[in-house]
A and B are shown apart, each in its own frame.
Chain A
Amino acid sequence: MAAVDVKSPAVPWRVRLARLDRMGSPYLYVAPFFILFAVFGLYPLGYTGALALTDQSPLDPQTSFVGLDNFATLAGDPKFWTAVRNTLGMFVLATVPQLLLALALANWLNRALRGIGLFRIAVAIPIVTSTAVVALVFGMFFARDYGLVNWVLEGVGIGGIDWRAERYAAWVAIASMVDWRWTGYNALIYLAAMQAIPRNLYEVAEIDGASRTRQFWQITVPLLQPTIIFTVIISTIGGMQLFVEPLLFTSGAGALSGGTLGQFQTVTMYLVQTMRAYHQWGYAAAIALLLFGLIVLVSAVNFLLVRRIRGER
């Protein structure tokens, strides 16, 4: 502190220290997060970037710099693009019904009914069950030979489906797993936001003769917009990184392949397969970076889309 005194003798050091405290300490308080982020977020990101430019593999002691070769290969890799298509397909199939259902559920839970607390707790239950358990149970539902779903389908005369062989059947099965787990979660978020909407808005609308449906679309939905954007973005990030459900959908050998033709292999599964099964670490890093870009892109598109829908209404 002596140095400070020498520089500006006019201001007492106590005052300078207080000013420093006021200006500096907030940064100190947020520092732990950013230091941890730098260690566990920024450094791996940078390392991945560097790795993506090499052909590193544990099978080969020699690593050489290959420039953008990995990305060029990736552009023409049919397995990668199949994985992208699967990921986007399952994302749409899972997220659209999930958020609509969550909205309806939240609207219903927002009423003053006897015992509504019990129902509100009930929708939260799937959130606390582990993904692995959900995947195992659904895996049995959708089993080819002795599965519950096929039993019902055969009962009504439609005939069983090989859920792991047919692409769209597999997507539906996996999307249903995701929805089972996350619909209640989104419903609770919507419910919390709905309860923050002032009651008098609805009262005024009712006096003006607006129906319940009209009230929902013209008051509830517009005021929920920030919340809806939040859930869409969160679901997008989750959906783009879909991994455990499709992985555990295969019982036994070859789970990372996501079906014999990669019918339900997501980008993260292909990434892990490339790294762990093929031992192509450089190439896996390139996939990781592209996945990162894909998430940013889809999130941005969704953000604009949700805003647009609101604007038109």
Chain B
Amino acid sequence: MRVLTRGRRVVVAVISAAALVGVAACSDDGDEPGEDADITLVIDIFGEQGFGYDELYAQFETDHPNITIEERGGGLGLGDYNERLVQQITAGAGAGDVVALEEGTIVQFYAQTDRFVNLADHGASDLQGNFLPWKWEQGAPGGFVLGLGTDVGSMALCYRNDVLEAAGLPTDRAELAGMWPTWEDFIAVGEQFVAAGIEQKFVDAATNFYNTVLMQVAGNGTGYTYYDIENNLALDNPDIRTAWDLTIRMIEADLSANLNSFSDEWNAGFQSGSFATIGCPAWMTGVISGAAGDDNAGNWNLTDAPGEGGNWGGSFLAVTAESEHPAEAAELVTFLTGPDGQTAAFEALGNLPSSPQALAGPEVQQASNAYFSDAPTGQIFGAGAADFQPVYLGPQNNAVRTEFENALRSVEQGERTPDQAWQDAQDNAAAIG
């Protein structure tokens, strides 16, 4: 490359500066209000597999030729995504026009509704019937429609046919579901698995087991986990203790492969089959097929989880107050979260709709997943979705949950006794407040 002399450099700098001013001027022109001005809507989502919206974007863009949709955040983990989002929302700059809020993190933004567009101002109030009642409530604190629901995390249990077979256990969906009506029974099946003496473990790790059980127990119990519905820390919630004790029993029965969720080893485990089962909210099916790869199609299967119903995860779409095109952004949110949009996302990725119409529709009811040995995913996941007991999650839910997960994993690692770990979790969670 040619080296610029000082004089040339100055010229280049001046030209670049002029060009920048020119660009700024042009974009000013672009902001002129007008029906057909070309606009770009930025949507922020998270997760290794994204939200499965590609076809919906194309359709929306066809219907609105002046709108281009730019999606950011695919491949980003929820933790990283949410840290960034909190900063952007607090700063009032940098966030997209549309942002995804997860069930466990939306509560953080209840205190900052002034940073979001009230979707009720864009006709969302008429859409209440499109969502399960509790899903609507979560997205509309105090009547302010902060976000419209996308998916729910209905619970099932995913398992490896080949690994269970190696341990001499059945692989039939109905037969397995009949063997574990409760989590105690599930642990008993695990003990049978251990008795077979094979190298693999029964469960991936304590953390997924614990979260699955807690969300289920809390749904049928107090209706909240670490925070009560007034956002006070409620570490003495008996549901936490129930889920904790079950998890400790599971660890002590030597059922756990002791893998950190979302780690390389965990992902590799889906592929190599180093564990037989995993608690499976609807969104987990996408995680599994992504991590295990095409070679394992047909090795995985899924059936009813032990216990009664339960929900873990699921998201919302919101429009930020900083958006320059709130009307168009709200229209996009309404489109994506409508029954048809949710059905399309379910078909693309397996995220279970939060819309009763979509849940009852033939696309969901008759859906089966070829990857998961043709399991009727729509029926299994959709079965209890309408009767879910919602679980209220407090503002620092994810941070407190991490402390409990760490404590359980320290027991798994043999670094702490269950009593010490329980105390650790209590102390650390109390410090977060």
The answer to whether A and B belong to the same complex is yes
Q: Which residues of A contact B (CB under 8 A)?
A: 58-61, 77-79, 139-140, 143-146, 162, 165-166, 250-254, 257, 260-261, 276-280
* Chain B hits for A144, CB < 8 A: 265
Query: Which residue of A has the minimal Cβ distance to B269?
Result: A145
Q: Are B265 and A61 in contact, CB atoms less than 8 angstroms apart?
A: no
Besides the contacts A58-B89, A145-B265, A165-B413, what 12 more A-B pairs have beta carbons closer than 8 Å? A58-B112, A143-B265, A252-B261, A252-B265, A252-B266, A253-B207, A253-B261, A253-B405, A254-B402, A261-B415, A277-B79, A278-B399
Do B402 and A257 touch across chains, with their CB atoms under 8 A apart? yes
B432 part of interface (Cβ distance < 8 Å): yes
Docked-complex contact A165 and B414, CB < 8 angstroms: yes
Nearest B-chain residue to A145, judged by Cβ: B265
**Contact indicator A279/B416 (Cβ below 8 Å):** no
Residues of A within 8 A of B416 (CB): 260-261
Q: How far is the CA of A146 from the CA of B268 in the complex (A)?
A: 10
Minimum distance in angstroms from A150 CB to a CB of chain B: 12
Hey, which chain B residues are within 8 Å of A254, CB to CB? Answer: 260, 402, 405-406
On whether the beta carbons of B86 and A279 are closer than 8 Å, the reply is yes
B428 near A79: Cβ-Cβ < 8 Å: yes
Is there an interface contact between B414 and A253, defined as CB atoms closer than 8 Å?
no
Bound-state CA distance A266–B416 (Å) is 21
Quote the shortest CB–CB distance from A240 to chain B (angstroms). Answer: 23
Q: Which of B252-274 contact A (CB under 8 A)?
A: 260-266, 268, 274
| A166–B86 CA distance with the chains assembled, in angstroms | 33
A61-B112 in contact (CB<8A): yes
A260 and B415 contacting across the interface, CB-CB below 8 Å: yes
Contact partners of B395 in chain A: CB under 8 A? 59
21 A-B pairs in the complex with CB atoms less than 8 angstroms apart: A58-B90, A59-B108, A59-B396, A79-B431, A143-B265, A144-B265, A145-B265, A145-B274, A165-B413, A252-B262, A252-B263, A252-B264, A253-B263, A254-B402, A254-B405, A260-B410, A261-B416, A276-B86, A277-B398, A277-B402, A279-B399
Residue of A nearest to B207 (CB): A253
Chain B interface: which size bin? 35 or more
**CB of B319 within 8 A of chain A?**
no
Cα A115 to Cα B361 with chains together (Å): 75
Distance of B404 from chain A, by nearest CB (Å): 11
A165 to B260 Cα, complex, angstroms: 12
The proximity string for B residues 58-89 relative to A, scoring 1 for CB distances below 8 Å and 0 otherwise, is: 00000000000000000001010001001001
Residue contact A277 to B399, C-beta cutoff 8 Å: yes
Say yes or no for B160: interface residue by CB 8 A criterion: no
Q: Is the CB of B407 within 8 A of A77?
A: no
Q: A59-B108, A59-B396, A79-B431 are in contact. Are A250 and B410 (CB under 8 A)?
A: no
Query: Are A162 and B263 touching (Cβ within 8 A)?
Result: no
Most B CB contacts (10 A, CB to CB) among A78, A146, A254, A280 go to: A254
B432 touches A278 (CB 8 A): yes
Please indicate which of the listed interface residues B89, B266, B398, B432 has the most CB atoms of chain A within 10 Å of its own CB: B432
CB of B111 closer than 8 Å to a CB of A: yes
The complex places the Cα of A162 from the Cα of B414 at a distance, in Å, of 10
Q: Which residue of B lies closest to A139 (CB)?
A: B264
Interchain CB contact (< 8 A) of A165 among B112, B261, B396, B415: B415
| B83→A276 contact, CB < 8 A | yes
Shortest distance from the beta carbon of A280 to any chain B beta carbon, whole Å: 8
Give the CA-CA distance A15 to B353 in the complex, in Å: 83
**B237-286: which residues lie under 8 A (CB-CB) from chain A?**
260-266, 268, 274
Inter-chain contact B86/A251, CB cutoff 8 Å: no
Tell me whether B135 is interfacial, beta carbon within 8 Å.
Answer: no
Give complex CA distance A253, B409 in Å. 12
Instruction: Check if B191 is an interface residue, CB within 8 A of chain A.
Output: no
What CA separation (Å) do A166 and B262 show in the bound complex? 21
Interchain CA distance A145-B266 in the complex, whole Å: 11
**A298 CB to closest chain B CB, in angstroms?**
26
Interfacial chain B residues near A146, Cβ < 8 Å: 265, 268
**Contact: A162 with B260, CB < 8 Å?**
no
The residue that A261 contacts in the complex, of B108, B265, B266, B406, with Cβ under 8 A, is B406
Closest to B408 in A: A260
Report yes or no: B413 in contact with A260, Cβ–Cβ below 8 A: yes
CB-CB < 8 A to A78: which residues of B? 427
Contact residue among B263, B405, B427, B433 (Cβ-Cβ distance under 8 Å from A250)? B263
Q: Known interface pairs A79-B428, A253-B405, A261-B406. Does A277 touch B83 (Cβ–Cβ under 8 Å)?
A: yes
> Shortest Cβ distance from A177 into chain B, in angstroms?
16
Q: Which 5 A-B pairs have the closest CB atoms?
A: A252-B263, A165-B413, A251-B263, A260-B410, A252-B262
CB contacts (< 8 Å) of A61 on chain B: these are 111-112
Contact B260 A252 (CB under 8 A): yes
B322 within 8 A of A: no
Question: CA A276 – CA B399 in complex, angstroms?
Answer: 10
Q: Once bound together, how far apart are the Cα atoms of A280 and B433, in whole Å?
A: 10
Which residue in chain B gives the minimum CB-CB distance to A250? B260
Asked whether B424 is an interface residue with its Cβ less than 8 Å from the other chain, the reply is yes
Q: How far is the CA of A276 from the CA of B77 in the complex (A)?
A: 14
Q: 1/0 contact trace for B105-137 toward A, CB 8 Å?
A: 000100110000000000000000000000000
